[in-house]
């Protein structure tokens, strides 16, 4: 969506890269801070139920497109793990990190594929987020099933996590599109 705004305004490549980098850094920061706040307020069960890192990733995909969104989806759990490991409480846990990298990459890439459509019609954020969530969770479950013989994260454990996080996913499937549509309206209004 941001790319389409840049195209309409004939923004230089340097400005595009700078703005996208700043937005990406903001989304990654949000993906690190939001889970910390949820875990602080609600504990580990709150994180599993509300899935706070997913919201900024879905937002990043819709806004930045699939390429930059993919980068945000991959880097967010890595940065979160690196920063939180310094204080002795890594999030996500090391056993979950590779799975989360792949899952969030899928979230961002799939929602990012809708970025141009969202720029034309804000309501496209709803199918973008919903499809991204479904694809990401399917990939998470599939990878857990494939690697369960060499990992402590089994398909049954992942399935239980998916069920626990269903309410958070539904809430994000509503909240993220409205945030995206609101930002789209601001950008269009700013254009006029």
- pLDDT tens digits for 40-89? 999 888 988 999 999 999 999 999 999 999 999 999 999 999 999 998 88
Q: Give the Cα separation of 114 and 63 in Å (integer).
A: 9
pLDDT tens-digit series, residues 87-116: 888 999 999 999 999 999 999 999 999 999
Give the residue among 172, 167, 164, 169 at the shortest CA–CA distance from 45: 164
Please give the tally of structural domains in the chain: 1
CATH number at residue 26: 1.10.1760.20
List the domain range (segments joined by +) for residue 13.
2-191
Mean residue pLDDT across the chain: 94
Please state the rounded mean pLDDT for residues 9-31.
95
pLDDT tens-digit series, residues 163-175: 999 999 999 999 9
């Amino acid at each position: 969506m941001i790319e389409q705004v840049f195209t309409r305004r004939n923004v230089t490549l340097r400005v595009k890269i700078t703005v996208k980098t700043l937005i990406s850094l903001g989304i990654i920061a949000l993906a690190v801070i939001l889970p910390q706040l949820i875990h602080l307020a609600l504990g580990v069960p709150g994180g599993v139920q509300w899935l706070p890192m997913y919201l900024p990733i879905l937002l990043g995909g819709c806004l930045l497109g699939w390429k930059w969104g993919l980068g945000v989806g991959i880097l967010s759990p890595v940065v979160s793990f690196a920063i939180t490991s310094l204080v002795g409480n890594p999030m996500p846990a090391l056993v979950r990190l590779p799975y989360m990298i792949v899952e969030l990459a899928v979230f961002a890439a799939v929602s990012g594929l809708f970025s141009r459509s969202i720029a034309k019609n804000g309501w496209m954020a709803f199918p973008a987020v919903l499809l991204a969530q479904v694809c990401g969770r399917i990939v998470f479950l599939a990878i857990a099933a494939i690697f369960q013989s060499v990992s402590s994260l089994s398909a049954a454990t992942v399935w239980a996590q998916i069920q626990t996080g269903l309410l958070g996913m539904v809430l994000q499937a509503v909240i993220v599109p409205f945030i995206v549509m609101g930002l789209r309206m601001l950008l269009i209004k700013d254009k006029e």
